[in-house]
A and B are shown apart, each in its own frame.
Chain A
């Protein structure tokens, strides 16, 4: 009986294997298919309700504007745009050769509908209601009349997908609207199917696209819940490139791909960065001298080497990375433990009882709480070590994302290690202000800075009416960061995107990396 069981098992295994392999051979599809692998798993086929799906949908439903490689905002669905001198009237001239994938023409009414609809039904776009008085159509243009100058309207419009009025006007709750089938889009490709079981989003060419013709037939986004397996899929050739919004390919895995000789890396300076956030509402971090001492206690070159394997550079005190528009060269952050100790001593922080731990102004030993998430464990441990060398005791609270947000909002920390994303750096009044302004809230933001000088700077930036004004405020802001250190940049890193050499012509933009319309019109398979 035992032997027959073994035999039957072996026969069963072999037959399934043969069946599978023959099935794999039949799967070979026709046409040029570009396959991109991503660890950003799509959990629901909702382009407004799922943040990963929202990024991918930019190819089928492009935004009104886009960020060019030099950081300037230019038209995408809009051919061009202009703003009145008082900064209160914005006019976007819409491209007149755009068609939805069901054959209908994209009209300025679609654009007007989109922003009215999002203002009413999409919480992240709730600001539109408070800022825009009226949206009207004038010929082929859409005109936004604002109740106050808002310098970054063009930038905001680089993130919202334009929606087809004839489809979306029937949708009452856009964030709950899921569609695993065809999503009508007007980009060079549209979403033909979102297959959550297979973990693939299928894009097909828009048959009514009149612009530059894409050089491949279809695009597939393959989602992986395990980064190691995604690396294997790249190496094996199952996917041609890697993509993660606001993220780089793991530096530690790059050499393995390089060794295959089949990969190039699209390298881009990240707008986002790793930062040491501080609770400015609590002592001792509310003390500028203490923050300054902490900034001298960090060994930046070591943290860059150990946490980012050298793929980046030591940041400036001005926080804002050079990849952002209107970057100002402020003082480079420096590791100088002696200076850090001397600043602390001058500010009245001393180790009077000789136990190796510095006392606060209340005479008690300082013990800081460092709140962190598993993703930033290495950097956090290094920071803890640097503080120890400075004579500051600390405890680590390593929590999951939801707990981090809760405790961060409740102010239950002194220091936190986190990162900013490209859009995060651009949101609110730009240049990272969204992370600090105490009048705002959000998942990743610290909202701990209520200094009137800073708040006024934010308001001035928002109300700026010219590029010159904006530039000047940006410089002032970076000086403010350098002088007051509301947060310390730990390193400015690079975003590395591996692409298979069988494909060429990759273009990465500062905001969404390789996931932009221009890139997919430029990429082609080598002959």
Chain B
């Protein structure tokens, strides 16, 4: 708090402390707001900086048009206006909570995103949560009791999964469990739409995503616990006569958790676009596929809308991570 490392700090009087905290909070909030404004502007600029034209892929590969038809279409799509005008319209739409209309999917972007997002969340959220909890827990145990054979085997297994390309693991799981053993369907979010049918369709993709998330969290947590294990406070706790589990879960676990919180925050931010490989392999019309297709077809409104949601999620996740950090680590101050 305003002190230089190595020098003794003089506490601020109570009257000034409130003012200081408020200015700190305002500074952090303004930082987030500026970040949002910059990222939103980049969301407008980046799709337009890509080579190509949104008009492409709109009518099919083998359509011949006259120049006048192209001009008319361009005008209907609002692409003939100056970029500055388009940029102002973009901000006006955001302030009116209007994400625009997709060039290629012929529907309001907000409706498209809603219809895709609910499925992607259903797919990615359980993986994030289960993978986060199990990976962290098992990783902590592995770091703490790393010498047993079962822990070594477990680590080897998670390391293998962690190193496997996601696309390959998806195909492998699908080939073995859906094709060879016929336990799961090959594609889609559902066939009939009943709850059991949806669970049946989502089980395998969620399993694969969970394994990925779990293996990564496992490896990070294991490493983190291993480094905390040799700290003086752990040795002191042991000397005090605390049981192993108590040392791990009351002291070491909390301090080892910081890198996991950063990772989970990043995962949460990119939860909508992170399931792309799974969505392609399992033929699922989710957010990953939506963004990928929009990139290929230069569907600016869909790209802007999707990036906007992702931006908000990333910023919120960062905010949440900051709050959690300050709760877990008193060295990080935040109000």
A interface residues with partner B (beta carbon < 8 Å): 2, 5, 9, 16-17, 19-24, 27, 41, 43-44, 46, 49-51, 54, 123-124, 126-127, 130, 175-178, 196-200, 222-226, 228-229, 232-233, 235-236, 238, 246, 399-403, 405-407, 420-421, 423-424, 427-428, 434, 440-445
Beta-carbon contacts of B273-314 to A below 8 Å, as 1s and 0s? Answer: 000000111111100010001001110000000000000000
B61–A16 CB distance below 8 A: no
A246–B119 CB distance below 8 A: no
Interface-side segment among B32-40, B79-87, B191-199, B260-268 = B191-199
Identify 18 residue pairs between A and B in the complex whose beta-carbon atoms are under 8 Å apart, listed by A's number. Answer: A20-B196, A23-B197, A23-B200, A24-B185, A44-B105, A124-B60, A199-B187, A232-B179, A235-B179, A236-B182, A236-B186, A402-B53, A403-B50, A406-B51, A406-B56, A442-B65, A443-B59, A443-B61
Interface-side segment among B69-77, B92-100, B158-166, B250-258 = B69-77
A2-B141 contact, Cβ under 8 Å, with A16-B199, A222-B187, A401-B56:
yes
Q: Looking across the interface, which residue of chain A has its beta carbon closest to that of B138?
A: A2
B65–A178 CB distance below 8 A: no
Q: Which of B62, B183, B184, B296 contacts A442 (CB 8 A)?
A: B62
A123–B53 CB distance below 8 A: no
Interface size of B as a range: 35 or more
For the complex, is B236 an interface residue (Cβ under 8 Å from A)?
A: no
A223–B283 CB distance below 8 A: yes
B203–A16 CB distance below 8 A: yes
7 tightest A-B contacts by CB?
A402-B52, A20-B200, A424-B62, A51-B60, A23-B196, A444-B61, A176-B106
Q: Which of B68, B107, B203 contacts A178 (CB 8 A)?
A: B107
A441–B283 CB distance below 8 A: no
A402-B65 contact, Cβ under 8 Å, with A17-B183, A19-B199, A123-B72:
no
Query: Which chain B residues lie closer than 8 Å to A406 at the CB level?
Result: 51-53, 56
Query: Which chain B residues lie closer than 8 Å to A428 at the CB level?
Result: 64
Q: Give, as a whole number of angstroms, the nearest-CB distance from B307 to chain A.
A: 18
For the complex, is B88 an interface residue (Cβ under 8 Å from A)?
A: no
B196–A402 CB distance below 8 A: no
A126–B66 CB distance below 8 A: yes
Q: Give, as a whole number of angstroms, the nearest-CB distance from B133 to chain A.
A: 9
Q: How long is the Cα–Cα vector from A400 to B297 in the complex, in angstroms?
A: 10
Query: Which chain B residues lie closer than 8 Å to A5 at the CB level?
Result: 134, 137
B174–A421 CB distance below 8 A: no
Interface residues of B in 106-138 (CB under 8 A from A): 106-107, 115, 119, 134, 137-138
Q: Which of B188, B197, B298 contacts A199 (CB 8 A)?
A: B188
Q: Looking across the interface, which residue of chain B has its beta carbon closest to that of A20?
A: B200
Q: How long is the Cα–Cα vector from A353 to B190 in the complex, in angstroms?
A: 67
Q: How long is the Cα–Cα vector from A126 to B119 in the complex, in angstroms?
A: 39
A197–B64 CB distance below 8 A: no
B196–A229 CB distance below 8 A: no
Query: Which chain A residues lie closer than 8 Å to B137 at the CB level?
Result: 5
Query: Which chain A residues lie closer than 8 Å to B50 at the CB level?
Result: 402-403
Q: Give, as a whole number of angstroms, the nearest-CB distance from A341 to chain B.
A: 36
Q: Looking across the interface, which residue of chain A has its beta carbon closest to that of B292?
A: A225
A44–B280 CB distance below 8 A: no
B280–A226 CB distance below 8 A: yes
